[in-house]
Amino acid sequence: MSMRLNHYVTKRIKDSEFLRNTFQLVLGTGIAQLITILISPVITRLYSPEDFGSFSFFLSLVGAFVLIATLRYELAIVFPPKEKDAVNLSVLSGIIALSFSLFLFGVVLLLWFFYPPYRNIEPFLLHSFFLLPLMVLLLGTSNIIQNWLVRQKRFRTISISKIINSFANNGLILFLGLAGAGAWGLVFGNVIGLILFVSYLVLRVFVMDRPKTVLYDRSSLKTLARRYRDLPTSNTVQALLDLLQIYGIIYLCRIFFTSATVGLYAISMRVLQAPLWLIGSSISQVFMKEAAEKVSNPEALKNSLSKTIKLAALTALPILVILLTAGPWLFSVVFGKNWHEAGVYARILSPWMFFDFIRYCIAQMPILIGKTRIMMRLSVLGNSILALSFIAGQFFFTDVRIVFLILSFSMCLYSLGVVVWIWKIAGDYHPGRRTGIISNDLIA
């Protein structure tokens, strides 16, 4: 029976390009996350909740700036039928990312020299701000290259790069933790890991795609910027709003609770969210490429959406069940008794992460069919629900567990509602009424 099942699964993967590409990405991501999981019990004994709290707040700032860094133009690299347009969109995204990083560095210097109150903030954050521009540039570059590789269907290269990043990142964090570096060990481990990650991607693209540099046409940059103007005007705002749903809790915890609470929440997300989101990015990348190819066929497009929803649910379900049944015990055993409360947080928040993971995997659908403005309004609604749920829970109960319980319940309803909405707009979609990015490509 087991052999027949293995044969069936293997055959399905070989016969389906969608499953084959997804498997390649998920395999690499899975290995990368396995490294993180294996080393986490040691790392949590080398760093305190306060260390994780300070680092997580810094990382939340990096994440917000990365979304602005390219104005989301890197998303369009996958879409154009012409390779020339994809090359020039890559260049356009790179120019914007470099310009923004230099601007950010200039702002940090100006604050340092000409705004004395700036120097009174927490010493770790004060000095870590000088690394913000570098982190933003590295992550912006990696997003550009990964979208280029998705367009070329080089999913194996993306998988290998994620393994390199995880190995370097965790190895350096471990080494610096043993050296007693504190929160700086987490920062420098991530920075050096990113440098190796981006260097590998740049090298692979340079070796394989160097002949395509002749397609670069400076005069076409303005035309492409105008063609995809919905990305900076609508999708950037929406992406920032989505990011607030991830990092907004860190900001609110820092206002109403202690740095230790932020650290406990951060480690719960490291276990709960990071593996799902890395795997989710793999599923989303494959879905985005397949959906872009099938956008002229509504039935095939909806079938692709259905497959992605099922795959996302099956991927996240085991993690949900494990955390609901044994989250606090598992955290105590694996990470140490100091992290038991993080397991409680993970148990409470896991239902929200389950539904939000499904939403994340199919979140590019509104971009493809021209529903970005509605999606932006929904993101505003989601952030309002998050903030109101958190503040109301803290005001009436002051217990962080009850606050997270109220938050998880309300955000479960929101994420499920967005998934249902995306399914509905996909069902109502008709190629003759296209107003999104894909239609612009076809008109051009």
pLDDT in the model for residue 57: 82
pLDDT in the model for residue 377: 85
Read off the tokens for 64: 């917000």
Give 178-194 pLDDT, tens digit per residue: 988 888 999 999 999 89
pLDDT in the model for residue 105: 95
Residue with tokens 């793999």: 282
In angstroms, rounded to a whole number, what is the distance separating the alpha carbons of residues 32 and 83? 31
Long-range residue pairs from 115-123, CB within 8 A, at least 24 positions apart, any chain: 122/54
In angstroms, rounded to a whole number, what is the distance separating the alpha carbons of residues 346 and 358? 18
How far, rounded to the nearest angstrom, does the alpha carbon of residue 131 sit from its chain's CA centroid? 20
pTM of the model: 0.70
Name the maximum alpha-carbon separation found in the chain.
Answer: 72
- Residues constituting the chain: 444
Q: What share of the chain is helix, strand, coil (3-state, %, to 5)?
A: 90, 0, 10
> Which residue numbers in the chain have pLDDT < 70?
1-19, 21-22, 25-26, 234-235, 238, 242, 245-246, 272-278, 430-444
Tell me the three state secondary structure of residue 190: helix
Question: Could you tell me where the beta strands, DSSP code E, fall in 93-227?
Answer: none
Give 259-306 pLDDT, tens digit per residue: 778 888 877 877 766 666 667 777 887 787 777 777 777 788 888 888
Give 118-144 pLDDT, tens digit per residue: 777 778 888 888 999 999 999 999 999
Residues 6+ apart with CB under 8 A from 136: 62, 65, 66, 69, 97, 100, 101, 104
